[in-house]
Amino acid sequence: MSDFNIINTSGVSKNEFSLTVISGKGGTGKTTITASLAHLVDKEIVKADCDVDASNLGIILEGETIEQSKYVGAKVALIDQAMCDQCGGCKDVCRYDAVDIVNSKYIVNNLKCEGCNACVVNCHLDAIKLIKEVTGDVIKKDTKVGKLVTSKMIPGAEGSGKLVTEVRRVGKTENTETLIDGSPGIGCAVMASVTGSNHSLIVTEPTQSGFEDMKRVYEIVANFDSIPLAVINKYDINEEVAIKIEKECERLGIKIVGKIPFDTTVNEAVNNLRPVIEYKDSKAAIAINEMYQNILKVIEGE
């Protein structure tokens, strides 16, 4: 457990379905597992795709867009060229190297500007102001398995954590019971994904890097009031490391809810943009089904 204070979740009762699926890095099967869970949950919940840098859940769950809105997630500086005397003060004060000189004019590079306001307060002619910038779209969809909130981030836009928060917020306003495909990694977007979820499902793989990533992402979850669960994907490709992961999970108090065997059907499902759970007799589908039953037992407090 880290030294940070535990962060409380918001207004979700303990037995409600409120689960975020995360992983220490991309490519562990997180979205494949989330899509299958979306098909298995037999009550009305909202699905939210908080993997905003690679929003693929909506592609697998399909469905139609019912609402789309712009999300203003950042502010950037804008220089009024008519007021500017080209003194260069803004370029000197900018720690992000976001002010360029183009044809003798001082121009802010939106892709580098962090909206820190330093140039605004330092401009002796008040020639700079911060303006709002759209960083993406928030999209509501109707799918075969219920409502989905997803997003489309503008390439190069800053503030993925804020967009994650907005996707999660919109999802929670539709229904407090949610299944979230969280952001991979260990950055602020992961924290934003886990916030407000009763349970966090860590997807890991039996490799040394998978083992280390699992521990790192657990450090994030441990700061939240979210019960950590884990699933070992392709556990049989290296049973020795899989056992090591199980022991570490036991030590950290993470409940293993599933062990999914390597199964070529998963690749077939991914190539066909289908959730593997549709391949009912496959080894992976059977294991994911068992995992879902174990998650339900945890949620129901058995």
**Any idea of the CA torsion for 181, 185, 191, 195, to the nearest 10 degrees?**
20
Smallest distance, Å, CB 163 to ligand SF4? 19
Copy the structure tokens of residue 108: 């802010």
Angle between helical axes of 208-221 and 239-252 (0-180°, round to 10): 20
Copy the structure tokens of residue 177: 């019971």
Indicate the residue among 93 and 222 with the shorter CB distance to ligand SF4.
93
Smallest distance, Å, CB 75 to ligand SF4? 8
Spatial contact of 217 and 231, defined as CB atoms under 8 Å apart? no
Beta-bridge partners for 71: 136
Indicate the residue among 110 and 223 with the shorter CB distance to ligand SF4.
110
Indicate the residue among 90 and 277 with the shorter CB distance to ligand SF4.
90
Smallest distance, Å, CB 185 to ligand SF4? 24
Indicate the residue among 35 and 77 with the shorter CB distance to ligand SF4.
77
The residues that touch ligand SF4, with contacts defined as CB under 6 A, are 77, 79, 84-90, 93-94, 96, 98-99, 106, 108, 113-119, 123, 125, 127-128
Q: Could you tell me where the DSSP H helices lie in the chain? A: 30-40, 57-61, 89-93, 118-122, 160-174, 188-194, 208-221, 239-252, 264-271, 283-299
Q: How far apart are CA 286 and CA 268, in angstroms?
A: 16
Smallest distance, Å, CB 65 to ligand SF4? 33
Smallest distance, Å, CB 186 to ligand SF4? 25
Indicate the residue among 4 and 96 with the shorter CB distance to ligand SF4.
96
Q: How far apart are CA 48 and CA 169, in angstroms?
A: 9
Beta-bridge partners for 200: 20, 228
Smallest distance, Å, CB 162 to ligand SF4? 16
Closest CA to 180 of 160, 162, 195: 195
Going by DSSP bridges, is the β-strand pair 18-22/178-181 parallel, antiparallel, or unpaired? parallel
Q: How far apart are CA 20 and CA 228, in angstroms?
A: 10
Indicate the residue among 67 and 85 with the shorter CB distance to ligand SF4.
85
The residue behind tokens 């890097």 is: 209
Smallest distance, Å, CB 121 to ligand SF4? 9
